[in-house]
């Protein structure tokens, strides 16, 4: 229990389940995916599924979080400072992630997915803010992270709603200077 997050069996099993889920998502709608389908594909027992996940919605949440986090980390941990470039690559990562979600799958779970994306954004913004601000006002940083995450997520929605008529970097770039004012330590 204390080291359940690092036991190789746990990591391996979770990976197998998540990979199978993503695999199946490409073939079926979310509502038609059964837990037995997933465990069969993953070659693990159904009881083991419940050892790791509450239910299939819990899996959806964790799987998407992970995929998204991998995307974000890959882009952001390179220039790990919250400058214009970082904003742009985060925004592009989000839009790519949303493009990658087959609209056929997960229909009816847009709000769940939205929440997941926003939460992950919030986590990453908060981490980066803490890294470059020496202030002790932690609550302030948290609030900034909330605002930025809602803002960037909303921008991605609007960009799609407008028909993606301009490249994402062009869409977000003009707004960045206004955001950056309050960010520098």
Partner DNA sequence: ATCAATGTGTTGGATATCCAACAGATTCAG
Partner DNA sequence: CTGAATCTGTTGGATATCCAACACATTGAT
- Interaction of residue 1 with a second copy, rule CB under 8 A: no
Residue 52 interacts with, from a second copy, DNA, none (CB under 5-8 Å by kind): DNA
Among 4, 23, 34, 45, binds a second copy (CB under 8 A): 45
Question: Phi/psi at 6 (nearest 5 deg)?
Answer: -120, -5
Residue 15 interacts with, from DNA, a second copy, none (CB under 5-8 Å by kind): a second copy
| Choice between 33 and 121, CB closer to DNA | 33
Task: Please give the structure tokens belonging to residue 183.
Answer: 């960010």
Residue (of 50, 72, 43) closest to 153 by Cα position = 72
Burial of 64 (0-12, 13-18, 19+ CB in 10 A): buried
Instruction: State the binding string over 5-34 for a second copy (x if CB under 8 A, else -).
Output: ---x--xx--x-------------------
Task: Please give the structure tokens belonging to residue 140.
Answer: 């302030």
Residue 185 interacts with, from a second copy, DNA, none (CB under 5-8 Å by kind): none
| Choice between 15 and 27, CB closer to a second copy | 15
The interaxial angle of helices 56-76 and 84-100, nearest 10 deg, is: 140
Greatest alpha-carbon span in the chain: 53
Footprint of a second copy (CB under 8 A): 8, 11-12, 15, 43-45
């Amino acid at each position: 229990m204390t080291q359940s997050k690092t036991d190789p069996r746990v990591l391996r099993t979770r990976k197998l389940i998540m990979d199978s889920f993503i695999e199946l998502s490409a073939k079926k709608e979310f509502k038609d995916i059964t837990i037995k389908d997933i465990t069969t594909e993953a070659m693990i027992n159904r009881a083991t599924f419940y050892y790791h996940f509450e239910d299939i919605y819990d899996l959806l949440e964790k799987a998407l979080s992970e995929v998204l986090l991998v995307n974000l980390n890959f882009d952001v941990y390179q220039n790990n400072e919250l400058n214009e470039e970082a904003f742009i690559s985060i925004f592009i990562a989000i839009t790519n992630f949303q493009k990658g979600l087959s609209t056929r799958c997960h229909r009816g779970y847009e709000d769940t997915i939205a929440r997941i994306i926003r939460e992950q954004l919030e986590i990453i913004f908060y981490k980066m803010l803490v890294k470059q601000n020496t202030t002790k006002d932690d609550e302030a940083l948290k609030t900034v992270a909330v605002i930025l995450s809602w803002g960037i997520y909303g921008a991605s929605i609007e960009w799609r709603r407008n028909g993606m008529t301009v490249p994402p970097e062009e869409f977000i770039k003009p707004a960045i200077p206004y955001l950056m004012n309050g960010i520098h330590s």
